[in-house]
Amino acid sequence: MNSIIENAHARRAGGAVGASTLHLLTPGERPRWDAFVRSCPDATFFHLSGWQNVIERAFGIKTWFYYVEQDGQIQGVLPLAQIKSRLFGHSLGAMPFCVYGGVAAIDAGARAMLDAAADKLAHELGVGHLEYRGMERAHPDDASWLTKELYVTFRKEISGDDEENLNAIPRKQRAMVRKGIKLGLRGEVDDNVERLFTAYSHSVHRLGTPVFPKKYFALLQQEFGDECEVRTIVTEDKRLVGSVLSFYWRNEVVPYYGGGMDLAREVAGNDFMYWNLMQAAAARGCRLFDFGRSKLGTGAYDFKKNWGFTAQPLPYEYKLYGADALPDNNPLNPKYQLFIKMWKKLPIPLANLVGPYIVRNLG
């Protein structure tokens, strides 16, 4: 049992407890917030306080990081951010730019207070909808919270033995990993995001998707330090193949942003890249590989499934306010197909210049 839950039980066993109070996070309280997040079973890497600094500085959007406290101890947290766009709508979410979110709490009362704070704020802001990005439904019996099947996540246990992990990869993809090994590909850990941004921007351009600003990746690396790794794959003659930015959380590794150059297809670069990351993560003590979120019906979904990972639905929850339908801001929406085709034709330097102004409104 973790120390936060033990303390909560001890206070209750000791008699009367004080009233719970709602607060907004201030810079001085960030260490306490993060200590709670690291001990709370419901919390994820995306509940850490550093996301407030990253999102506000990278995208210029407004955030509200709520927490509930009782007798000097944090009982629950809820990070929220607002997206307001004429093109993509007005929303309040936990959290934009993150795959997991929602309330993380050790107490039902704290959870209810945080839900109420989000509801009140959503009304005050006049948003179209409120979104919680949980791995499980938090309100399965509340008809005011809706969900839809769009995203899945891929999470799988790994061992500390490279051979065992390699043999767990299906034969066809394992052959691709061995091809990269045979061709002499290698991974290098970068202390900057230059090569990552080059590989990532090439990949999203091929998909017809606007790119995140380079500043965003730099802020992630700066804010999360050793828990944020940039791993770049190169050939024997040092040509850039691909790069991936990953988060380390508890005993998990989460490859979050990645991309490959055209060369990656010739040398099985993507398969080697994730294998190289899995090796490094296992050596670091990680025992769970979180391949991240993908949309149903996409190439990323198929790639992860072909690695032997099982798709787990992500039942994101939505509460409607000004909107009369659930949001559908994703590349599979037919109304965006013309935009995607046009975007692919833009020169990469122009796409990288304009993209950040669009993607900040997508979240």
**Domain 3-149+315-327, architecture per CATH:** 3-Layer(aba) Sandwich (3.40)
State mean pLDDT over 90-114. Answer: 94
Q: For residue 80, is pLDDT > 50?
A: yes
Indicate if the pLDDT at residue 223 is higher than 90. yes
Instruction: Tell me the average pLDDT of the chain.
Output: 89
Please check the confidence at residue 50 and state whether its pLDDT lies above 80.
yes
Which residue spans within the chain are E strands per DSSP?
A: 21-24, 63-70, 73-85, 89-94, 104-105, 129-132, 146-147, 151-157, 186-190, 228-234, 240-249, 252-260, 288-295, 311-313, 317-320
Cβ proximity of 301 and 151 under 8 Å: no
Distance CA 30, CA 26 (A): 7
Instruction: Name, of 43-52, 336-345, 348-357, the range with top average pLDDT.
Output: 43-52
The conformational region for residue 20 under phi > 0 = left, psi -120 to 50 = alpha, else beta, is: beta
pTM: 0.88
Choice among 26-30, 131-135, 145-149, 185-189 with the minimum mean pLDDT:
145-149
The larger pLDDT score, comparing residue 362 to residue 220, is at 220
Q: Which CATH architecture has domain 153-314+344-359?
A: 3-Layer(aba) Sandwich (3.40)
Residue 1 binned pLDDT confidence (cut-offs 50, 70, 90): very low
Give dist(CA 363, CA 356) in Å, integer.
11
- Distances in whole angstroms, Cα of residue 90 to Cα of each of 130, 131, 324: 9, 11, 12
pLDDT of amino acid 356: 67
Residues 6+ apart with CB under 8 A from 25: 33, 49, 52, 65, 66, 67
Task: Write out the residue limits of the CATH 3.40.630.30 domain(s) in the chain.
Answer: 3-149+315-327, 153-314+344-359
| DSSP letter string, 256-304 | EEEEE-THHHHTTHHHHHHHHHHHHHHHTT--EEEEEEEETTSHHHHHH
Gap between the Cα atoms of 62 and 121, Å rounded = 12
